[in-house]
A and B are shown apart, each in its own frame.
Chain A
Amino acid sequence: MGQTRPVRRFWLASLRNPPRTGLQSALGALLAWRRSLKVWMSMKILVPVKRVIDYNVKARVKSDQTGVDLANVKMSMNPFCEIAVEEAVRLKEKGLAEEIIVVSIGPIQAQETIRTALAMGGDRGILVQTDADPEPLEVAKLLKAVALAEGPGLILMGKQAIDGDNNAVGQMLSALLDWPQATFASKVELSGDTVRVTREVDGGLQTLELDLPAVVTADLRLNEPRYASLPNIMKAKKKTIDIKTADDFGGLSGGHLKVLKVTEPAKRVAGVKVESAAELVSKLKTEAGVI
């Protein structure tokens, strides 16, 4: 921990102390310097986004227990994905990234979700169209294939989707790519070929430094996503969305989990209203026995 990586060390050393031992090492230094500069200048950020039930809508379980009723329900971009898009746009606005690629895996309507991200500042989109509801492992495998095709320096994504609440894809993608991971980010600082991420952990914050390329997942307090302006919404309509299928990225690997049923949780019944603090204390003591 804490050591400078070879490329960067070489680059720093070559600035401080230009190598004088022949053409070969000079060339080597130049190449290493160009490489680190290139990472910086042409960094692509890949932002996977998911179309989910709008977070203000209360999910209703279908009476046949097969799932949650999504017919005629307002759908939106998953809120954590929005935060990831916003962060990518801010990094680009700071001149730290060249291009933001937004990818979504889902039905044809997920184009709208991608379009929203493009209106926020994404550059182009990829829809991996499928009407299946792939599991996190399948999603991670498709995203791995997308990442290998696009070669981003950073994948920024939401920590979890508010439908399945799995909180898994970012970590799995990172493992499959063998890239380092920083989940639950509340601060992201890019510099050269590393990213420093402050993470929300139990009991406070933890800061890590990762070599790029890396996977970072966004927590709630990373930023407050912007509303797309009308001109930007209009502009986004002209941006490209490539429509692909899962087969273009290795296909769906098949589910490992079978949903047997989806039920409604036991409802809490509203209790009684008390008239005073004294009555409350007495009820907590004698009736509920919790103090």
Chain B
Amino acid sequence: MAVLVVADHDNASLKDNTHKTVTAALALSGDVDVLVAGHGVAGVAAEAAKIAGVRKVLTAQSDALGKQIAEAVAACITPLMAGYDAVLIPATSAGKNFAPRVAALLDVAPISEIIEVVGPSTFVRPIYAGNALETVESSDAKKVITVRATAFKAAGEGGSAAVEPVDAGAGAPKTRFVSDELVKSDRPELAGAKIVVSGGRAMGSAEEFHRVIEPLADKLGAAVGASRAAVDAGYAPNDYQVGQTGKVVAPQLYIAVGISGAIQHLAGMKDSKVIVAINKDADAPIFQVADYGLVADYKIAVPELMAALTDAGH
């Protein structure tokens, strides 16, 4: 059994989601190859070749692949599947976009966002926003699987796989890339950060979110997240959203500031190792999942927290 992992990258660097997906793949097979589909990806491929346990790195390059256009990525992967029994794809917005397309082209059932590999055909995946876990067995000879990367440990470094080019495929003749509007940030990426500081609706405005949440995040070297309520109200950009319909994170430390803890938010962060909640409402549901709760107005608590962190040498 050979397994293909599709790398998560931005053409410039390889994302940690790839290493985690390789771990899931290694649970299925010892023969794991990584596909880097993009544009100008020699550097990314070199990084992927260093992941321990990877047999071979394939590169496919075109403009459309560089923009991760779903039709193009699926057209590249589908013919490659002649040589693989499964393809594992990190469940990022790009992965979720093209994975089901690959499945449809292969006439197989996609298996979305697995969190555990039980056996060669059996997987566990969350349903109902993580309120239930479904164990499914696939009868497909070729499996198309997206992987919730936070559920797997990252594979280590130390490999030295060969890199070889493959055909980029037919592209996306009916789809044209128009523009990107990407948020530039020096902070760690939300999905892979060790610490996440999130703000909720209690912030009341974008300025307040900016003034309170961001300095605390920067002091801890953390990524910034937000509840859906805060994003919907325009306090934070959409890609900050942590939750069922946003990003699923599982950092070492998650600090929720002024977040009540709606089911949909909890679904996105309840697998964090340590959860801290700061909320003035002692009955807020967030306290039911928090390891450490501080019942206080964030306006007082966050400056105190900043000061205490400084005293502790941060």
Interface positions of A (Cβ within 8 A of B): 1-2, 53, 55, 58-61, 68, 135-137, 140, 162-176, 179-184, 186, 196, 200-211, 214, 219-221, 255-265, 268, 270-274, 276-278, 280-285, 288, 290-291
Contacts and interface: CB of A to CB of B under 8 A. Distances in A.
B128 A165 contact: yes
Contacts of A221: 231-232, 238
A137 B244 contact: no
Which 10 pairs across A and B sit closest by C-beta, in order of nearness? A271-B291, A277-B304, A256-B109, A168-B100, A59-B128, A172-B104, A175-B104, A171-B100, A204-B182, A180-B174
B276 A167 contact: no
B207 interface: no
Contacts of A200: 93, 238-239
B139 A258 contact: yes
A265 B71 CA distance: 35
A97 B139 CA distance: 42
Contact of A260 (B70, B135, B183): B135
B178 to A, nearest CB: 4
Contacts of B176: 1-2, 208-210
Contacts of A259: 134-136
A291 B195 contact: yes
B133 A265 contact: yes
- Interface of A (DSSP majority class): mixed
Contacts of B294: 273-274, 276-277, 280
B237 to A, nearest CB: 8
Interface of B: 10, 63-64, 67-71, 74, 92-94, 96-101, 103-105, 107-113, 122, 125-140, 172, 174-183, 191, 195, 220, 228, 231-232, 237-239, 244-245, 247, 252-253, 263-264, 270, 273-276, 287-296, 301, 304-305, 307-309, 311-312, 314
Contact of A277 (B138, B183, B264, B301): B301
Nearest to B220: A291
A206 B276 contact: no
Contacts of A277: 294, 296, 301, 304-305, 307-308
Contact of B100 (A136, A258, A262, A265): A136
A196 B293 contact: no
Given A181-B71, A204-B182, 8 more contacts: A68-B128, A137-B110, A204-B183, A260-B137, A268-B289, A270-B288, A280-B292, A290-B195
